[in-house]
């Protein structure tokens, strides 16, 4: 059936109906009539989503009117439910014969065989389903499917905006895109933040949906696609990118997407149905995104990010909008995920929180965010699609609770929570000067982790005994070029000045994995966590390490320099790193340069294999620091940056604790100086297990010094050790519950 008046006429009628002053129901009723007539269909129905994923018949032409507001289907139930669930068009010549068909007698749909249903989709959300039906068996033509999809998109837009009918009038809060929404994720960095959304990848606003001049729109689309293709080709050809292997394949795939004829044709078809070029890009993107999301294939989901990115670029070509968002005060950045350098780009001045869909607790973006003092929550599915720039948002990095567009009373509650947290911090400040000594008199050294200049005031505030891990790579990730020798020296000096008498352990560049320098030529790897990173880079490109060591030596005039080498896998690697340090020291001596009074070189124990080499390692290493983040991620074979797997193992699993116990015992037998500086050191219950295993030095984020000190001061270490020891050998699952119960029984303070 070529339609009675063509899709463009239909869109124009739609716009007129939208503008009419009658009630929402009256307009919906009229709308289905117009669609049915235009598409030469005997039935046209609109089902809208209600709370609980229920699809309710809101208007119909051709089915029994009595069924309106009575017929309801669950998502996935019947053909309408199938359309909503799959977010795809369903086109059947004999609907009742389909296994998904569910017969609802009140609708009177017995005589209708042919069925076409399309989802009403906008911004990654299914608002409902639009259907047409005919008595005669037939498969609807592709243009008809296109036309109905376009109508559905315009319908979704007006439903979403609430400009067509007042959603409240229809008593359907689920349909409002501006409704308050609550998300619960995993708190990655505590703190309560109240602020405004800043979208990391801001959505481009599509103002006009219905085209006035379709020929012109098609030309606009073509021009924008050509512009995009040229820009992508240029970007990929730029000398900055030096790619091979998998990296090149990924980038090639991106380029192919930009040149994909199927993508272009789908957008052209959408324009032909009467949409503006921008609306056509959005419609095709919405459909693709939903389809991919429902497939649940992680590889395809990655690719969907590429497509999102391309669609955004195309929209920017069309609208001329730039990507830069203005930063409000109290900004809360909302993103699917991001790298640590991208977060640093936002600066700290106006930022109070970070809300992510997809990041793990020990990922570097989380670590950097903690060091910036931000509240961080991750695992917030659907947040990016729901949030709009400038929306009010509140979050609690403890409980993982996030409220988007919250009502005033929720904002008040969060303001109060923030006040309470300040009071809590004052409580920790009060114990700052008290020693971290257990009830049975064992002193534990509590150090803090740092990496940026703005960490330094926390040293005095927290009462930490020093800095057990200074992540020097963060400073390298901040700038646009590699810091020069003089700048590095100046920076390390400023850190030492800020530390005063307290010791600082500088870890040499731990690059690779998710820590990349924006200005360095980098080869993309299939498994960056197991790839060319940290000391492996340093030994292959010794100039980088040599300059860093030179700067550290110069900065430490008259002090003891403590250097920590990251990701050491075997003793030989450590010895080669140490030899390089010694050579620099010798050079300084020969050149009569100022030098430290003493240089100590230590190894990070992050690779499980090294745990078995401590007797040999301790002969040349002055100290060893366990990096439990990498150590346990490698021991359990989970990518720490991938939230899908990162939470599958628990640090208090007996395997993890047995491994750490082995390291502690081996270090003790070889009189080694041992500490632990991974994130688990900062969690009071985990830290209790660690001191129970024999660790006496822990390095953690500054905000955790107070809570961990409270724990230390309330335990009897002999009792804890005996308990942990006994459980370790007997239990086959995490000790967390047992340890919590133990702490509760003995009144151990865990915050």
Interface residue list for ligand PEP (CB under 6 A) = 367, 469, 471, 510, 606, 627-630, 677-678
Give the separation between CA 289 and CA 473, rounded to whole angstroms.
36
> Given its phi and psi angles, is residue 605 left (phi above 0), alpha (psi -120 to 50 degrees) or beta?
beta
**Binding partner of 677, given ligand PEP, Mg ion, none, CB within 5-8 angstroms per partner class:** ligand PEP
Measured distance CA(622)–CA(628) in Å, rounded: 19
d(CA 485, CA 482): 9
Please, what is the minimum distance in Å from the beta carbon of residue 626 to ligand PEP?
A: 7
How many CA atoms lie less than 13 Å away from 112 in the CB half-sphere? 24
The catalytic residues are: 364, 677
CB of 625 to ligand PEP, least distance (A): 8
Q: Strand order in 72-74's β-sheet? A: 72-74, 54-61, 43-50, 125-134, 114-122, 90-92
3 state SS of 570: coil
Tally: H helices and E strands in the chain = 27, 22
- CA 286/CA 292 separation, integer angstroms: 10
Rounded Cα distance between 366 and 335, Å, is 13
Shortest-Cβ-distance residue relative to Mg ion: 630
Partners of 674 in beta bridges: 624
Closer to ligand PEP at the Cβ: 463 or 627? Answer: 627
DSSP SS3 for 662: helix
If binding means CB under 5 A, how many residues of this protein chain bind Mg ion? 3
Name the segment binding Mg ion (CB under 5 A); options: 174-182, 320-328, 494-502, 630-638.
Answer: 630-638
CB 469 to ligand PEP: min, Å:
6
- The contact mask relative to Mg ion for 548-587 (x = CB under 5 A, - = no) is ----------------------------------------
- Give, as ranges, the residues between 213 and 272 that touch Mg ion (CB under 5 A): none
DSSP3 helix / strand / coil % (the chain, rounded to 5):
50, 15, 35
Of 421-429, 573-581, 584-592, 626-634, the segment contacting Mg ion by CB under 5 A is 626-634
To ligand PEP, the closest distance from the beta carbon of 574 in angstroms equals: 16
Is the Cβ–Cβ distance between 279 and 218 less than 8 Å? no
- CA dist 227 and 396 (Å) reads 43
Provide the 10 A C-beta neighbour count for residue 474: 22
Closest to Mg ion by CB, 455 or 606: 606
* Nearest to ligand PEP of 367, 646 (CB atom): 367
List CB contacts of 26: < 8 A, sequence separation 6 or more.
Answer: none
> Least separation, in Å, of the C-beta of 678 and Mg ion?
7
Contact by Cβ (8 Å): 436, 446: yes
- Give the interface segment with Mg ion, choosing from 73-81, 103-111, 538-546, 602-610 (CB under 5 A): 602-610
Which DSSP state fits 641? T
Question: How many angstroms separate the CA atoms of 615 and 668, rounded?
Answer: 10
Judged by beta carbon, residue 117 or residue 627, the one nearer Mg ion is 627
Which of the listed partners (ligand PEP, Mg ion, none) does 678 bind, with a CB threshold of 5 to 8 Å by partner kind? ligand PEP
Q: Which residue is nearest to ligand PEP (CB)?
A: 627
628 binds, among Mg ion, ligand PEP, none (CB under 5 to 8 A by kind): ligand PEP
Q: Give the residue with the Cβ less far from ligand PEP, 405 or 661.
A: 661
Candidates 128, 202, 274, 627; binder of Mg ion (CB under 5 A) is 627
Minimum distance of ligand PEP from residue 691's CB (angstroms):
17
Q: How many CB atoms lie within 10 A of CB 555?
A: 23
Task: Give one DSSP letter per residue of 541-555, joined into a string.
Answer: SHHHHHHHHHHHHHH
Report whether 4 contacts 40 (CB < 8 A): yes
Q: Which two tokens stand for residue 295?
A: 């497939």
Instruction: Classify 194 as helix, strand or coil.
Output: strand
In the bound complex, what is the minimum distance in angstroms from residue 165's beta carbon to ligand PEP?
52
| Alpha-carbon separation of residue 501 from 151, 459, 496 (angstroms) | 71, 11, 9
Query: How deeply is 750 buried, as exposed, middle or buried, from its count of CB atoms within 10 A (0-12, 13-18, 19+)?
Result: middle
β partners of residue 717: none
Query: Of the two residues 95 and 372, which places its CB atom closer to ligand PEP in the complex?
Result: 372
Stretch binding Mg ion (CB under 5 A), from 389-397, 479-487, 497-505, 605-613: 605-613
Binds 337: which of ligand PEP, Mg ion, none (CB < 5-8 Å by kind): none
User: Which of the ranges 431-439, 601-609, 665-673, 727-735 carries the binding residues for Mg ion, by CB under 5 A?
Assistant: 601-609
Q: Taking the complex as a whole, how short is the minimal distance between the CB of residue 473 and ligand PEP, in angstroms?
A: 8
In this structure, what token pair is assigned to residue 455?
Answer: 């960490």
| Residue 488 or 628 having the CB closest to ligand PEP | 628
32 binds, among ligand PEP, Mg ion, none (CB under 5 to 8 A by kind): none
Nearest distance from residue 606's CB to ligand PEP, in Å? 5
User: What strand order describes the sheet that includes 186-189?
Assistant: 181-184, 401-404, 392-396, 192-199, 331-335, 351-356, 375-378, 186-189
What element of type H or E holds 15? helix 6-19
> Looking at 137-145, 315-323, 496-504, 629-637, which segment touches Mg ion (CB under 5 A)?
629-637
Of 351, 350, 385, the closest CA to residue 203 belongs to: 385
The nearer residue to Mg ion, 195 or 627, going by C-beta atoms, is 627
* CA 623 to the chain's CA centroid: 35
> What angle separates helix 542-555 from helix 571-590, to the nearest 10 degrees?
50
In this complex, which beta carbon is closest to ligand PEP, that of residue 147 or of residue 563?
Answer: 563
Q: Cβ 574 to Mg ion, closest distance in Å?
A: 15
Residue 471 binds which of Mg ion, ligand PEP, none (CB < 5-8 A, kind-dependent) = ligand PEP
> Residue 169 carries which DSSP code?
G
Q: Does residue 630 bind Mg ion (CB under 5 A)?
A: yes
Q: Is 401 in the site for Mg ion (CB under 5 A)?
A: no
- Which CB sits closer to ligand PEP, 107 or 628? 628
Cβ-based nearer residue to ligand PEP, 71 or 449: 449
Query: At closest approach, how far in Å is the CB of 705 from ligand PEP?
Result: 16
Using CB under 5 A, list all residues that contact Mg ion: 606, 627, 630
């Amino acid at each position: 059936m070529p339609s009675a008046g063509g899709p463009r006429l239909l869109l124009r009628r739609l716009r007129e109906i939208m503008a009419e002053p009658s009630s929402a129901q009256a307009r919906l009723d009229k709308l289905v009539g117009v669609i049915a007539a235009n598409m030469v269909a005997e039935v046209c129905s609109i089902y809208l989503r209600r709370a609980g994923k229920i699809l309710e018949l809101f208007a119909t032409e051709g089915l029994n009117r009595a069924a309106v507001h009575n017929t309801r289907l669950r998502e996935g139930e019947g053909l309408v439910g199938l359309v909503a669930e799959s977010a795809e068009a369903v086109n059947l010549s004999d609907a009742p014969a389909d296994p998904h068909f569910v017969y609802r007698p009140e609708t009177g749909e017995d005589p209708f065989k042919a069925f076409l249903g399309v989802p009403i989709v906008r911004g990654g959300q299914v608002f409902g389903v639009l259907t047409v039906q005919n008595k005669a068996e037939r498969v609807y033509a592709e243009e008809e499917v296109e036309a109905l999809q376009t109508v559905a998109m315009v319908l979704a837009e007006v439903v979403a905006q609430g400009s067509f009918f007042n959603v409240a009038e229809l008593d359907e809060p689920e349909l409002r895109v501006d409704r308050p929404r609550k998300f619960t994720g995993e708190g990655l960095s505590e703190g309560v933040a109240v602020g405004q959304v800043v979208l990391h990848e801001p959505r481009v606003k599509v103002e006009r949906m219905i085209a006035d001049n379709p020929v012109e729109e098609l030309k606009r689309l073509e021009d924008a696609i050509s512009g995009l293709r040229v820009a992508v080709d240029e970007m990929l050809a730029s000398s900055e990118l030096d790619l091979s292997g998998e990296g090149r394949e990924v980038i090639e795939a991106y380029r192919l997407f930009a040149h994909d004829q199927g993508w272009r044709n789908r957008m052209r078809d959408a324009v032909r149905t009467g949409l503006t070029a921008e609306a056509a890009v959005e419609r095709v993107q919405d459909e693709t995104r939903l389809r991919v999301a429902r497939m649940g294939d992680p590889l395809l989901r990655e690719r969907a990010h590429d497509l999102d990115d391309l669609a955004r670029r195309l929209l920017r070509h069309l609208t001329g909008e730039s990507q830069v968002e203005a930063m409000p005060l109290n900004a809360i950045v909302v993103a699917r995920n991001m790298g640590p350098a991208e977060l640093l780009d936002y600066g700290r001045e106006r930022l109070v929180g970070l809300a992510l869909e997809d990041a793990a607790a020990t990922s570097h973006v989380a670590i950097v965010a903690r060091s910036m003092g931000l509240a961080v929550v991750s695992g917030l599915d659907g947040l990016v699609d729901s949030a709009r720039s400038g929306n009010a948002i509140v979050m609690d990095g403890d409980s993982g609770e996030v409220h988007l567009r919250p009502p005033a009373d929720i904002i008040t509650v969060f303001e109060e929570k923030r006040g309470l947290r300040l009071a809590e911090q004052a409580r920790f400040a009060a114990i700052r000067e008290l020693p971290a000594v257990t009830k049975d008199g064992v002193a534990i050294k509590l150090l803090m982790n740092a990496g940026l200049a703005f960490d330094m005031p926390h040293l005095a505030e927290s009462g930490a005994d020093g800095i057990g891990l200074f992540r020097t790579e963060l400073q390298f990730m901040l700038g646009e070029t590699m810091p020069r020798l003089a700048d590095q020296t100046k920076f390390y000096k400023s850190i030492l000045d800020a530390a005063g008498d307290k010791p600082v352990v500088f870890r040499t560049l731990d690059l690779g994995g998710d820590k990349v320098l924006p200005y360095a030529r980098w080869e993309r790897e299939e498994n960056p966590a197991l790839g060319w990173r940290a000391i492996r880079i340093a030994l292959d490109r010794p100039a980088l390490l040599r300059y860093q060591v030179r700067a550290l030596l110069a900065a430490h005039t008259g002090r003891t320099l403590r250097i920590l080498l990251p990701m050491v896998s075997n003793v030989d690697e450590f010895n080669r790193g140490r030899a390089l340090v010694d050579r620099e020291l010798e050079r300084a001596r020969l050149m009569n340069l100022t030098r430290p009074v003493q240089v100590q070189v230590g190894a990070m124990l992050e690779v499980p294999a090294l745990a078995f080499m401590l007797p040999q390692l301790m002969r040349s290493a002055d100290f060893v620091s366990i990096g439990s983040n990498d150590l346990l991620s490698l021991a359990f074979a989970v990518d720490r940056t991938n939230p899908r797997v990162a939470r599958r193992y628990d640090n208090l699993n007996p395997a993890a604790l047995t491994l750490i116990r082995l390291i502690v015992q081996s270090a003790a037998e070889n009189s080694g100086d041992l500490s632990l500086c991974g994130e688990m050191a900062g969690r009071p219950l985990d830290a209790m297990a660690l001191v129970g295993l024999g660790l006496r030095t822990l390095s953690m984020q500054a905000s955790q010094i107070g809570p961990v000190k409270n724990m230390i001061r309330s335990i009897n270490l002999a009792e804890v050790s005996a308990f942990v020891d006994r459980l370790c050998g007997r239990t086959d699952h995490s000790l967390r519950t047992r340890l919590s119960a133990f702490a509760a029984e003995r009144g151990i303070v865990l915050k």
